[in-house]
Amino acid sequence: MRIGVTYDLKSDYLAQGWSEEDAAEFDSEVTIAAICDALAGLGLEPVRIGPVKRLAEKLVAGMHWDGVFNFCEGVKGVGREAQVPALLDAYDIPYVFSDTLTLAVSLDKAMCKRIVRDAGVPTPDFAVIETLADCAKIDLPYPLFLKPVAEGSGKGVDRNSRVWEPAALKATAANLLKRFRQPVLVETFLPGREFTVGITGTGAEAEILGVTEIVQLGGFVGAGYGYENKLEGWEDKLEIAVAPPEYAAASGEVALAAWRALRCRDGGRIDVRCDASDQPQFIEVNPLAGLRPEHSDLCLIAEFAGITYQELIGRIMASFFKRNPQLKRS
């Protein structure tokens, strides 16, 4: 069975003059090779496709695959993660991971939080700054936490993200609006412990893969799991540890509720953080979670659970095949 693989290769964008931070969400050759090797190990035939424009060219040329392992982050627009799924929907080709609606909504952190909140999942109070004038309308208790509304890999989260008074709010918002040219999410800052929940499966059959804690060390930058803390050499900044059982259970309950409310599929990650009462709250979801072996959070969660990389990809693919029973495996 031929399984196409869509992706954005980081080295391609660096060669075009992108900065390391601009290209932070894109994938290494190590990751794409590992995915393809794991698919082959499952008895499938991986076929590299590449980014969305290459996919479009191949579809127009009449190429077809039994399914597509969609790992493409996209480049332009607030719906960039949904572009590959939209094309595949148009050509009636099933794909791994979440659909167009979920990927578009999840990328916009404010829209995502509105859905999660409406479903009864706890999440910090928030507001959105579209222009600098909106800073005067913020009516949330300090401290507050600011970040771009539609970025990943911790981009825009740094030592200035937590603010304690209106002048700092305005300064940080101005910087983010200028740098990222998109609205800014403002949230009530949660002072408690931070966890990442790995999930595989879809709907009622989704289950917790494992839960890890982001433990801050002496070199930790700022008050959030941001870009600088995720760079190579992060070992002096933080430790990724197995979450204590009581926190794992509570965080997993919140994460599963959010996963199902957002209709996420097959596999991914949800970040939660505890409030002053030690209660976990939803922060954000990553329905296209990193899959770099021995590096990405989802892979580390699997390792802690005694699950090999191929077994992790196997669980993701099992969910995909269950959703697509028309794909008969030989």
**119 is a domain residue:** no
Whether residue 204 sits in one domain with residue 316: yes
**101 is a domain residue:** no
Q: What is the C-alpha separation between 326 and 241, in angstroms, rounded?
A: 40
Q: What share of the chain is helix, strand, coil (3-state, %, to 5)?
A: 40, 20, 40
Domain interval for residue 285: 194-323
**112 is a domain residue:** no
pLDDT of residue 223: 67
pLDDT of residue 220: 76
Whether residue 217 sits in one domain with residue 171: no
Whether residue 296 sits in one domain with residue 235: yes
Q: Is 76 exposed, middle or buried (0-12, 13-18, 19+ CB in 10 A)?
A: exposed
Domain count, the chain: 3
pLDDT tens-digit series, residues 236-283: 778 889 999 999 999 999 999 999 999 999 999 999 999 999 999 999
pLDDT of residue 236: 77
Whether residue 200 sits in one domain with residue 179: no
Q: What is the C-alpha separation between 117 and 282, in angstroms, rounded?
A: 9
3-state secondary structure of 27: strand
Q: What is the C-alpha separation between 102 and 286, in angstroms, rounded?
A: 10
**329 is a domain residue:** no
Stated as kind and residue range, the H or E segment containing 147 is strand 144-148
DSSP 8-state secondary structure symbol assigned to residue 150: T
pTM of the model: 0.93
Whether residue 218 sits in one domain with residue 176: no
With tokens 């996919």, the residue in question is 55
- Structure token pair of residue 59: 């579809």
Whether residue 204 sits in one domain with residue 315: yes
Stated as kind and residue range, the H or E segment containing 109 is helix 109-118
Whether residue 165 sits in one domain with residue 56: no
**293 is a domain residue:** yes
- Assess contact for 110 and 260: CB atoms under 8 A: no
DSSP 8-state secondary structure symbol assigned to residue 9: B
Q: What is the C-alpha separation between 197 and 190, in angstroms, rounded?
A: 17
pLDDT of residue 22: 80
Which residues, given as ranges, of the chain have pLDDT below 50?
none
Give the end of a domain, one of 167, 188, 209.
Answer: 188
pLDDT of residue 231: 64
Q: What is the C-alpha separation between 258 and 269, in angstroms, rounded?
A: 11
> Measured over all CA atoms, what is the biggest interatomic distance in the chain, rounded to whole angstroms?
64
pLDDT of residue 120: 98
pLDDT of residue 233: 64
3-state secondary structure of 232: coil
- Assess contact for 180 and 149: CB atoms under 8 A: no
Whether residue 136 sits in one domain with residue 39: no
CA angle (197, 155, 110) in 5-degree steps: 65
Q: What is the C-alpha separation between 149 and 193, in angstroms, rounded?
A: 22
